Structure 1
Amino acid sequence: MLASNRITLTVVMIFTGVFSVLSVVMFMQARADVQKEGRAAFSQAQTLAASDISLETLKLLLQSNRDLVLLSEPPTPHSAQLPSWSFNHIFTPIPPQAVQHALSGETLWIAANADAELDEIATTVIQVLSIFFVALLVTLFSLRYAVNSRLRPLAKLCDGLDSMTTGHYQYSGDATDIAEIQTLIDHYNSLTQSLQHKENQVVSLRKRVAAIQEQERQSLARELHDNLGQLITGITVQTYMLSQQREHPEFVAKACEQIQQQCNAVHQGMKEVTSQLYPVFLHRLGLVRSIHQVVQSWQDIHPVNVSWQEDCAPFEANLERDTQVYRIVQEALNNIAKHAQADQVDIHLSTDADDLLMTIRDNGTGFTPDSNHRGLGLESMQERTKLANGSLFIDSSDNGTSLSLRVPVTKEPEHNHAHIAR
């Protein structure tokens, strides 16, 4: 239900309740007034009957009294009350009374008459009802106008929320003096600014990812062409020379040895390329041993001392999660090699009740983690952490950088060690 309709309904209910209470009060007051007037009329009739006036004059005076009714016959138990079509029985609970004329001794029966009071009450009720009706219309019109005019910024805010689905984040409405609505508008503007900033970041990251993908393709193409391609070309040349020197055993043996070495180099090159593309050994070795292997391989080609500590209880393997954690380790080591200028790296893996904990510290130059010009590597690690449902904390200073990763894992039951991530 719209706010204006709900307010209208509330105001109508309030006015109806007030009018009902006022009607009851008016009814009670009218009843008391009728009884008071009736008793006064009876007293006046008794006074007139006791005076020295004729019977005809007394009857005329009683008939002319608007608060009395002169009965033509004495009332009976069945006729004591007035007809059902009259409201007199509601407003005049005073029973009929007898008046004895002092001069003639004749008895006259009279009853209270509420018709005059009822006319006054009806007039008053109509006036009050008219006033209430006019006041209700004026109030509803004023409230509806005020609500619609004051809620207009909310309508524009709703239009702004609808336009967010199309990528438009600007609020086109005016400011308002209603504090609650202005607070909503301020929060909306803050939200849209944040969304716009995030969208700009996403666009920038997409461009950088596309550029890095292109660089990776070029690097892979050069690796395949310059390294593996040359090795395969060498093998081809060696086999051709073997076919030409089949009568010289010494040459054949030496060529076979060279071909074997070149095949080993091709195999190693293929392992390095596939490892960069996808860590296939995660299926066989598990996450912890795979991380240890990549750390050892990294240490073999970088002049950095690596301290490795591992205290992990067996936990169930999860390829998606393990791949993300493995890539985070790779990115962290690559950042150390490219930027840290460190000669000592400490890596510690452990588990607690529900999480895998990993800490990587170096004694390099450090950087500013909250800088607006964060590298793609840090953004990639943050995104991979979210995909693994974990948390990543980076602390860096002039004394080095510390990376702390927490990822939820499921402990392997003690009686089942068929599939563990070790």
Structure 2
Amino acid sequence: MSALWRINLLVTLFFTLVGAACLALLLRQAGQDVRRELVAAEAVVEYLRGAALRDPSALLPHLTGNLRHVRVHHLDEPVAEPPPGPLQRGLAHWLYPVADHPGEALRLADGSRVRISVDPRDEVDEIRDSLQQLLVLFGVALGLSLLAIRWAVRRGLRVLDELLGALRQVSRGDLQARLPLHSSAESQRLAGHFNQMAVSLERVKAENAELTQALLALQERERRQLAQALHDDLGQYLAGIRAQLFLLRSVTGQLPVVNCTAQALEINCQHLQDGFRALVRDLYPVVLERLELADAIRLLGEQWQQAHGIACRMQLADELPPLSGEAKAHLYRLLQEALTNVVRHAAASEVRVRLRAGPGRLRLLVRDDGRGAERLGCGGIGLRSMRERARCLGGELRLLTRPGAGLALCLSVPLEGVGP
């Protein structure tokens, strides 16, 4: 059953109950009033009976024809009026049961027979007319209410149909779906929230597409850098080692030349080993498998300081809660990316790193004394990757900056979601 039919059914039921209550009150009040009038009419009936027995001319039609609630029936004359219907009989019986037994016929002095009784037909007709008017009134009110409800609900359902259509468009990937603004405040709020949601989804989709393109570009750049490192750096060292080995074969009897060549081989091997370590460190933080998180972060800070000449002050907790391998990798990479951003954008001379475990949370603070900024935009792939890693950790990442005061990165991670 549709919403419109349910509303119509409820409204009809409500009008039926209210109409029944009004009918009951009307019948109750009318019954009390009619009974009082008919009891008073009994005195008139008794008076006419006595007057008719004394003088039959007292029952002439021009004298008794306009009396209310009193019926003078001449039994010797044919009945010209139609019999009452079932509704009239029922109401008459309910209003004044005595009227069902009009009493004995009177034989007058002129030999005619007559029956004088209380007649509730006038009151029955009035009550019947009142009931009919009340029913017509309720019927018209019900019809108008149903029409008004249909008009109002149709407008609301039209908005709902538009919303469902727009949601189908969104589910198919069409994020340009928008709802039109109608006159009602509710539909305007609904359309406003939906359109705002669609704009947000469209913006997120665009950001995801941009991020995907940036990730692909970064992947290609890293592959190119890896290929260049293997070809230009490590390849040269390997070529030099091979040439020096050929030289050793040819100068086996010349000890100074052998010593010099061996020393060059050792240097080349050291460069080769350092290059491979740098590549492995950039590809995956192997130190997390060999060291605790605090020691790995401390080693990262020392290597970063040596590589870039920027002071890195570490304040690490002596005991950190156990974390899963994935959580350690995200935290390590986030700090690594934060330090990389300091080198690229901050122009800082010092960086402070603090890692503390509080009640139920792990907090990381990275703060530099660089140039800062007036405000932070969407950021590049580095900032987005840090936000994504914070989301994977279930934490909250905040960036605070102002011109000349550097930048502070604050990460708060709940411990219940990052445990082993």
Change (3 A) 1:174 1:244: same
Counterpart in 2 of 1:30? 30
Residue by residue over 1:142-174, the C-alpha shift from the partner in whole angstroms, topping out at 9 and shown as x without a partner, is 331233135423421332222222333345554
Structure 2 residue 382 is the aligned partner of structure 1 residue 377: yes
Aligned counterparts of 1:172 and 1:189: Cα–Cα separation in 2: 5
Contact 1:349/1:357 (CA < 8 Å) preserved in 2?
yes
How far the C-alpha of 1:24 sits from its partner, in A, is 0.5
The AA in structure 2 aligned to 1:126 is Q
Aligned pairs (5 A) from 1:262-301? 262-301=268-307
Aligned counterparts of 2:340 and 2:317: Cα–Cα separation in 1: 24
Which ranges in structure 1 are unaligned for 5 or more consecutive residues? 73-84, 413-418
The AA in structure 1 aligned to 2:397 is L
- SS of residue paired to 2:241: helix
The AA in structure 1 aligned to 2:392 is L
TM-score by length of 1: 0.80
Aligned counterparts of 1:270 and 1:93: Cα–Cα separation in 2: 116
Aligned counterparts of 2:108 and 2:417: Cα–Cα separation in 1: 119
Instruction: Using the TM superposition, name which of 117-126 and 351-360 deviates more.
Output: 117-126
Residue by residue over 1:107-162, the C-alpha shift from the partner in whole angstroms, topping out at 9 and shown as x without a partner, is x9987564554454334433432332233223312331233135423421332222
How far the C-alpha of 1:48 sits from its partner, in A, is 1.1
Aligned counterparts of 1:291 and 1:274: Cα–Cα separation in 2: 16
Identical-residue share of aligned pairs (%): 30
Counterpart in 1 of 2:138? 132
Aligned pairs (5 A) from 1:268-417? 268-371=274-377, 374-397=379-402, 398-409=404-415
How far the C-alpha of 1:258 sits from its partner, in A, is 4.1
Contact 1:307/1:347 (CA < 8 Å) preserved in 2?
yes
Change (3 A) 1:135 1:395: closer
Counterpart in 2 of 1:45? 45
How far the C-alpha of 1:20 sits from its partner, in A, is 0.9
The AA in structure 2 aligned to 1:384 is R
Instruction: Using the TM superposition, name which of 242-251 and 31-40 deviates more.
Output: 242-251
Aligned counterparts of 2:417 and 2:174: Cα–Cα separation in 1: 46
Higher helix share: 2
Change (3 A) 1:215 1:46: same
Aligned counterparts of 1:307 and 1:20: Cα–Cα separation in 2: 86
How far the C-alpha of 1:243 sits from its partner, in A, is 4.4
- SS of residue paired to 1:321: helix
How far the C-alpha of 1:194 sits from its partner, in A, is 2.3
Change (3 A) 1:315 1:212: same
TM-score by length of 2: 0.81
How far the C-alpha of 1:304 sits from its partner, in A, is 1.5
The AA in structure 1 aligned to 2:388 is E
Instruction: Give the paired residue count.
Output: 398
- SS of residue paired to 1:309: strand
Change (3 A) 1:349 1:212: same
Change (3 A) 1:173 1:314: closer
Change (3 A) 1:209 1:367: farther
Contact 2:56/2:108 (CA < 8 Å) preserved in 1?
no
Aligned counterparts of 1:60 and 1:239: Cα–Cα separation in 2: 156
Change (3 A) 1:293 1:69: farther
Aligned counterparts of 2:320 and 2:371: Cα–Cα separation in 1: 36
Aligned counterparts of 1:266 and 1:60: Cα–Cα separation in 2: 143
- SS of residue paired to 1:51: helix
- SS of residue paired to 2:53: coil
Aligned counterparts of 2:41 and 2:19: Cα–Cα separation in 1: 32
Aligned counterparts of 1:322 and 1:339: Cα–Cα separation in 2: 26
Contact 1:363/1:400 (CA < 8 Å) preserved in 2?
yes
Contact 2:316/2:354 (CA < 8 Å) preserved in 1?
yes
How far the C-alpha of 1:56 sits from its partner, in A, is 7.8
Structure 2 residue 237 is the aligned partner of structure 1 residue 231: yes
Change (3 A) 1:353 1:313: farther
Counterpart in 2 of 1:78? none
Residue by residue over 1:10-50, the C-alpha shift from the partner in whole angstroms, topping out at 9 and shown as x without a partner, is 32133212211221122113322442343133212210122
Contact 2:294/2:320 (CA < 8 Å) preserved in 1?
no
The AA in structure 1 aligned to 2:400 is D
Contact 2:178/2:195 (CA < 8 Å) preserved in 1?
no
Residue by residue over 1:361-412, the C-alpha shift from the partner in whole angstroms, topping out at 9 and shown as x without a partner, is 222112244235x222222211211111112222223132222222223599
Aligned counterparts of 1:174 and 1:410: Cα–Cα separation in 2: 45
Instruction: Using the TM superposition, name which of 248-257 and 164-173 deviates more.
Output: 248-257
Aligned counterparts of 1:179 and 1:347: Cα–Cα separation in 2: 52
The AA in structure 1 aligned to 2:368 is D
Change (3 A) 1:236 1:272: same
